[in-house]
Amino acid sequence: MVRFWVAALISLLLATPVQARWLQAESEHFVIYAEESEADLQHFAEMLERYHFAMETLTGKHTETPSPSNRVTIFVMGSEREVRKAYGGNDRYVAGFYVPNAGMSRAFVPPLRRTSGEPDFSQTVLLHEYAHHFLISTSRFGMPRWLGEGLAEFFASTKVLKDGSLQIGRPANHRAGELQYAVEVPIRQLLDPALYDQKKGRFYDNFYGRSWTLVHYLWFSDERKGQLNAYWKAVASGTPTLLAAEQVFGDLDTLDKDLDAYLRSRRMLTYRLTPDMLPIRPVRIFGVGEGMDKMLPIIAHSQSGVSREEALELLPKAREVAARFPADARVLAGQAEAEVDAGYYDEAIAVADRAIAIDGTVANAHLQKALALYRKAGDAADQDAAYGLAIRAFGGLNKLDYDNPLPLIYLYRSYADRGLEPSEHAQHALVRATQLAPFDQDLSMTLAFMYAQTGEIEMARYTFAPVAADPHGGPRAEIARRSVEELADAAEGSPFRFSFFDEEKETETAAASDPASGTE
């Protein structure tokens, strides 16, 4: 599994109770596993759900209720050391990370704590990343870098008040030092990502803080009411970012001076959204059982992303736990996952079959059986039959969760991995999978290449665009940008040259909103 670091994520309430047991919280958009008190876990889950609904309220962007597989799963680890161990390595700056895979989005965080004053920075980072997750799920247009990061910072500064209200649009105090002491990014470099990359120096600058300032100013300014939305519409329609800024904001030097004056303001507007303004569905909390209490740390480590060597170290532990709880289908599915990671596919299939026989509703058992069969198919003498068997196994997962994107993805891959032209049905499956998991940028790249291959040039360019705009996309974003240029040539009659990659994933894109009036 691919992984990448996000930085320290949230903390909420008190110390872990003695003889703690793993609890599972299920809400509309999240699944959370934690060795915490039920009250702490309830508070955490409700805060995240209200944060999600607050973004819907303020942006006017509404999401469909995700299927079980498309919720974000959060593992609350026992310590920051355990988080670093799951991540791999001993980097002391890594206190949490996030894996935005289709059907398998995972976040790994340290123990929960709650502060009465300024929000803990780890909370700010989690909310920043989830803002990206939410916003990219509500728009398929590539965002200018300053706008994507500025919006994420705007929402990430949220504070939970004593009565459960959310105060949103607060000053980004965690950027105060950056705004005061870091190298200042001139307005034209802020607005033009190409110019910023060209001029960016070796020293830490105030790009994030300045991006927050511009978003906050445009959002609440009476004098510039409507400009944020007008700018975004201009960019989304194809106007270059700097030209759109000049057309909408007017003289940019004046805008820069206005931002400096805004930062000197003694008071800023914010939103205060009370719990009754953010209705959420009930959160369900329950114990996972004795067997899963032992298996969950192994599953968490496995799902964080492991090499085969790491998987081989985990496997004996998984087998030992499963041997103690042979009638627990979820435990057996956990062993099957460890077997798949270690490359023991026949063993994985056998264990998954035992789990399914005990409880056919355990989705992970169906998934691990299908993955094992799929990975065996590549070396099979009769690949057509082997891939067909794997796809039928994915059908078991599909029956449990019709909107799980993984069966759809592997249906498409079963053609591509055999060097065959995907059927129309498989192509539609890939389109649907991308709709279900727009935050998975590797999946978007696959879809964009499919469009290019079938001659749908405009759809390919449209699909590449958000990936190309990702400021942290690395080689993936560079390939997307290059592909957009080559597609422009293809539209004029030159052949499109395909590029393939295997890079780390991260989700750092956002969508804009209609500014609304705030309250002090």
Considering the entire predicted model, what is its pTM? 0.83
The predicted model gives 51-69 an average pLDDT of: 91
Residue 203 has pLDDT above 60, yes or no: yes
Buried b (16+ CB within 10 A) or exposed e, 47-61: bbbbbbbbbebbbeb
Does 5 have pLDDT greater than 60? no
CATH number of 305-397: 1.25.40
Which phi-psi region, left, alpha or beta, contains residue 480 (left: φ > 0; alpha: ψ -120 to 50)? alpha
| Model confidence pLDDT, tens digit, residues 390-437 | 999 999 999 999 999 999 999 999 999 999 999 999 999 999 999 999
Domain ranges in the chain are 1-137+271-287, 171-269, 305-397, 403-497
Amino acid, single-letter form, for residue 329:
A
% pLDDT > 70, the chain: 86
Q: Which CATH architecture has domain 403-497?
A: Alpha Horseshoe (1.25)
The whole-number pLDDT of residue 490 equals 64
CATH 2.40.160 fits 1-137+271-287, yes or no: no
pLDDT at 500: 34
Q: What band does 474 get if pLDDT is binned at 50, 70 and 90?
A: confident
Please give the helix or strand (H or E) that residue 355 lies within, else none: helix 345-358
Q: How far from chain centre, in Å, is Cα 375?
A: 26
Residue 91 has pLDDT above 70, yes or no: no
Mean pLDDT of 5-15: 35
**What is the side-by-side strand order in the sheet with 23-26?**
4-5, 97-99, 106-109, 72-76, 30-34, 23-26, 284-287
Question: What proportion of the chain, given as a percentage, has pLDDT over 90?
Answer: 59
For 300-334, how does the pLDDT look when each residue is reduced to its tens digit (9 = 90+)? 999 988 899 999 999 999 999 999 999 999 999 99
- Amino acid letter, residue 37: S
Q: Is 90 exceeded by the pLDDT of residue 519?
A: no
Are residues 70 and 61 in contact, defined by beta-carbon separation less than 8 angstroms? no
Whole-number Å distance between alpha carbons of 464 and 276? 40
Kindly report, residue by residue over 332-356, the tens digit of the pLDDT: 999 999 999 999 999 999 999 999 9
Does residue 199 surpass a pLDDT of 80?
Answer: no
Decide if pLDDT at 447 tops 80: yes
SS3 call for 6: coil
Residue 358's nearest CA partner among 326, 397, 329, 319 is 329
Q: What pLDDT was estimated at residue 478?
A: 86
230-289: per-residue pLDDT in tens?
A: 999 898 888 989 999 999 999 999 999 999 999 998 889 999 999 999 999 999 999 999
For the chain, the residue count is: 520
Average pLDDT score, the chain: 85
Q: What is the DSSP string of 97-147?
A: EEE--TT--EEEE------SSSPPHHHHHHHHHHHHHHHHTT--SPPPHHH
Residue with tokens 């891939």: 387
For residue 122, the model assigns a pLDDT of 66
The band of 136, judged by pLDDT with boundaries at 50, 70 and 90, is: confident
Render 435-491 in DSSP notation, one character per residue.
HH-TT-HHHHHHHHHHHHHTT-HHHHHHHHHHHHT-TT-HHHHHHHHHHHHHHHHHH
List 32's β-bridge partners, or say none.
Answer: 25, 74
Secondary structure letter of residue 268 according to DSSP:
-
User: Is 403-497 the same fold as 1-137+271-287?
Assistant: no
Whether the CB-CB separation of 294 and 183 falls below 8 Å is answered with no
Q: How confident is the model at residue 511 (pLDDT cuts 50, 70, 90)?
A: very low
C-beta separation of 72 from 130 below 8 A: yes
- Report the pLDDT value the prediction gives residue 116, as an integer from 0 to 100: 63
CB atoms within 10 A of CB 312: 15
CA distance readout (Å), 486 to 1, 57, 453, 471:
30, 39, 13, 20
- The DSSP element (H or E) to which 273 belongs, if any, is strand 271-273
Residue 401 vs residue 508, higher pLDDT: 401
Distance CA(421)–CA(415), nearest Å, equals 6
Element spanning 400, H or E: helix 383-400
